[in-house]
Amino acid sequence: MTPDQSPVLQSGIQPRASVWRRLDAMSRRGLPAVFTALSILLLSAPFDLPGQAELLPGVVLSSVFFWSVFRPASMSSPVVFLLGLLVDLLGFGPPGVMLLILLIVHGVGLSGRYGFARMHILLLWAVFGAVALAATVLQWGLVSALALRAMPGVPFVFQWTLALGVFPMLCALFTVMARTMANPDRA
């Protein structure tokens, strides 16, 4: 039971849990993961947008962090694992790096969620900035270690800046989604 789900107080007058209603609730619960997977697929597609490859980690990190804090039921650890696997399969970096980073960010969001969920949005943004910075530094370190040479740091700084910039926009979008489309209580 997550905070934005209302407790079942009057079970007697709820609509019957038919197959369709259960399917509807399930799709609403799965919407965050589907949304993230779709954005991974779209951002790996050949659109030739400038900064497309650097935007992908920002979007995925924001999504995993937001949903891990506000509704872990929709962003459970196996789902994060599958999303990380998808990023690593579509990318051409050393395999497993994004997977590990996403799991760590998910763990951080999960363990601090009771504090994070009550924060002001600006403060949460700052926390996400710190988490994303740590994740980007870890990514740079792992990629450099696996390639046995120090990678240039500028693309990673660019990637972190994009993650920082995209988080508030995704936050607004996800908040609306959590109340409407992705709200299992509305099923």
Which residues sit at the interface with other proteins, rule CB under 8 A?
Answer: 41, 45-48, 76-78, 80-81, 84-85, 88-90, 92, 94-97, 99-100, 103-104, 106-107, 110, 142, 146
Which residue type is seen at 24?
D
Rounded CA-CA distance 130/134 in Å is 6
Taking the complex as a whole, how short is the minimal distance between the CB of residue 80 and other proteins, in angstroms?
8
Identity of the residue, 81 or 158, whose beta carbon is nearer to other proteins in the bound complex: 81
Taking the complex as a whole, how short is the minimal distance between the CB of residue 81 and other proteins, in angstroms?
5
Identity of the residue, 87 or 177, whose beta carbon is nearer to other proteins in the bound complex: 87
Residue 66: burial class (beta carbons within 10 Å; 0-12, 13-18, 19+): buried
Taking the complex as a whole, how short is the minimal distance between the CB of residue 171 and other proteins, in angstroms?
24
Taking the complex as a whole, how short is the minimal distance between the CB of residue 82 and other proteins, in angstroms?
10
Taking the complex as a whole, how short is the minimal distance between the CB of residue 70 and other proteins, in angstroms?
18
First and final C-alpha spacing in the chain: 16
Q: With contact defined as beta carbons under 8 Å apart, do 162 and 55 qualify?
A: yes
Taking CA atoms, 21 is separated from 4, 11, 25, 32, 100, in Å, by 19, 15, 6, 19, 36
Taking CA atoms, 58 is separated from 128, 165, 187, in Å, by 11, 9, 31
Taking the complex as a whole, how short is the minimal distance between the CB of residue 147 and other proteins, in angstroms?
10
Rounded CA-CA distance 154/18 in Å is 54
Rounded CA-CA distance 163/150 in Å is 22
Identity of the residue, 126 or 150, whose beta carbon is nearer to other proteins in the bound complex: 150
